[in-house]
Amino acid sequence: MTQVLNARRGKITDQMWSVSRQEGIPAETIREGIAQGLIVIPFNKAHPGLKPCGIGLGMSTKVNANLGTSSVFPEWTHEVEKMEAALSAGADAVMDLSTGGEIPSCRQHLLENCPVPIGTVPIYEAAVRTRSQGQLVVEMEPDELFRVIEEQAAAGVDFITVHCGVTRSIVEKLRHQPRLMGIVSRGGAMMAGWILHRQQENPLYAQYDRLLEICKLYDVTLSLGDGMRPGCLADATDRVQLEELMILGDLVRLAREAGVQVMVEGPGHVPFDQIEANVKLQKRLCHGAPFYVLGPLVTDIAAGYDHIASAIGGTLAAIAGADFLCYVTPSEHLGLPTAADVRDGVIASRIAAHAADIVKGLPGALARDLAMAEARRDLDWDKQMTLALDPARARQIRQERNPMLQDVCSMCGEFCAIDLVSRCFSKAGSGE
């Protein structure tokens, strides 16, 4: 029995109660949001030690960290370290995008140690298996793909990205109406290549009901991937992107009818002034489904600092209604991230999520900023460090840059504005 089917029957599950407590929102509101498909709780009962996490309307904005092996870095132990970095930086979810080494082992180790929902992109493992059998990725057997999906669901994966909207007709359109960067989604590219090679319809679209059956059985949340997401500003909000989005909207309805939790993924590289339109279109065309965006990056030239380009776009996207931000790390476009990159990526996205939650007026969002402002006014450094988004980093900088212990800091020293004003105003106030 999935969360959504329970919700529709009026039942508030343990997971809904837990999300209600975390968010400071009545459980009945959570239940109703889930029943309507406006909120999801990715929660696979086979994932040990999982803490429920609500994503969607009225929830605080959540942050996902991607990690996973690649053929150049196949060692899963590094990915467990990255997961720990992501969790300690405050990630709300983790995706295992492994394409190298022992993929099931990596996933298993992550699942056993991860209290937040774990997502995957099953076509990656199917592609690796296909290659290991000496075939090209585009020769993948649909049954192999569904086998991987079922195995991952049985193993405890909480949400899966599936590129169901990359249809034959869209791939044809893309051939005749090219865009600057074509397809940059890995899963989308695999699916498009398969379609062109086999001259058949996308099996995740053609056999969508088969996919829904698996998801319903394990209560795996569908994350409908945007295979046509723009890979550069010039391709943003173009025809193929919107055509795919419309198909995803149809697939949202079908998933809801089947009692499957579903969210929708979105771009990507988007100029700042097109971000709000992208979110509004997704919310309208996909019937209010939770929106999971990658970035968006507001420029293409920030290689080495794409976590910043992404935090800029992510703030506006979340304010406009996006519910779930996929982080981008400083090594995006350059190579596989390190654990330090993972940390930087999560923190940047958390800044975006928090800045947006303040504007969304979510319960408790501004309270931490108010407490920080009071600690600053009082020059209470311990409290400032505790309230910082990343206390360890804040403490480290304070220690390094302040060789002499002092009430003020080494930027202003004795010319500290706060110190000066508090002395002058209290003197003036006391009539001295």
Residue whose CB is less far from its own copies, 257 or 415: 415
Q: Which of 51, 109, 376, 383 binds its own copies (CB under 8 A)?
A: 376
Binding mask 78-117 for its own copies (x = CB under 8 A): ---------------------xx-----------------
DSSP symbol at 269: B
By CB under 8 A, residue 427 contacts its own copies: yes
CB of 42 to its own copies, least distance (A): 24
Binding region for its own copies (CB under 8 A) out of 18-26, 49-57, 210-218, 424-432: 424-432
Q: Pick the binder of its own copies from 12, 254, 379, 388 (CB under 8 A).
A: 388
Within 351-370, which residues bind its own copies (CB under 8 A)?
Answer: 351-352, 354-356, 358-359, 366, 368-370
* Closest CB 15 distance from its own copies, rounded Å: 28
Q: Are 397 and 409 in contact (CB under 8 A)?
A: no
**DSSP bridge pairs for 120:** 96, 160
CB of 383 to its own copies, least distance (A): 12
What does each C-alpha distance from 83 to 111, 333, 346 come to in angstroms? 10, 20, 11
Among 34, 44, 60, 124, binds its own copies (CB under 8 A): 124
Site for its own copies in 16-55 (CB under 8 A): none
DSSP assignment of 212-234: HHHHHHHTPEEEE--TT--SSGG
User: What's the Cα-to-Cα distance from 16 to each of 4, 22, 55, 86, 118, rounded to whole Å?
Assistant: 11, 10, 11, 24, 18
| Residues of this chain, 299-338, that bind its own copies according to CB under 8 A | 299-305, 307-309, 311-312, 315-316, 319, 330-338
Nearest to 55 by CA among 349, 287, 351, 321: 321
Among 14, 257, 417, 430, contact with its own copies (rule: CB under 8 A): 417
**Is 410 a residue that touches its own copies (CB under 8 A)?**
yes
287: left (phi over 0), alpha (psi -120 to 50) or beta: left
* Residues 3 and 45: beta-carbon distance below 8 Å: no
Residues 6+ away with beta carbon under 8 Å from 171: 192, 195, 196
Residue 357 Cβ vs its own copies, minimum distance, rounded to whole Å: 9
* Of the residues 70, 108, 135, 207, which one makes contact with its own copies according to CB under 8 A: 70
The site map against its own copies for 217-256 (x = CB under 8 A) is --------------xxxxx---------------------
Nearest C-alpha neighbor of 52 from the set 21, 18, 77, 12: 18
> CB under 8 Å to 221, separation ≥6 — which residues?
40, 41, 42, 43, 117, 158, 159, 160, 215, 260, 261, 262, 263
Query: What is the bridge-based pairing of β-strands 118-120 and 55-56?
Result: unpaired
Count of residues interacting with its own copies (CB under 8 A) = 113
By the rule CB under 8 A, 277 interacts with its own copies: no
The piece of 5-13, 149-157, 190-198, 280-288 that touches its own copies (CB under 8 A) is 190-198
Q: What is d(CA 61, CA 350) in angstroms, rounded to the nearest whole number? A: 9
If one asks whether residue 186 binds its own copies (CB under 8 A), the answer comes out as yes
Give 1 or 301: the residue with its C-beta nearer to its own copies.
Answer: 301
Asked if 299 and 233 count as a contact pair (C-beta separation under 8 A), the reply is: yes
In the list 65, 83, 118, 127, the residue contacting its own copies (rule: CB under 8 A) is: 127
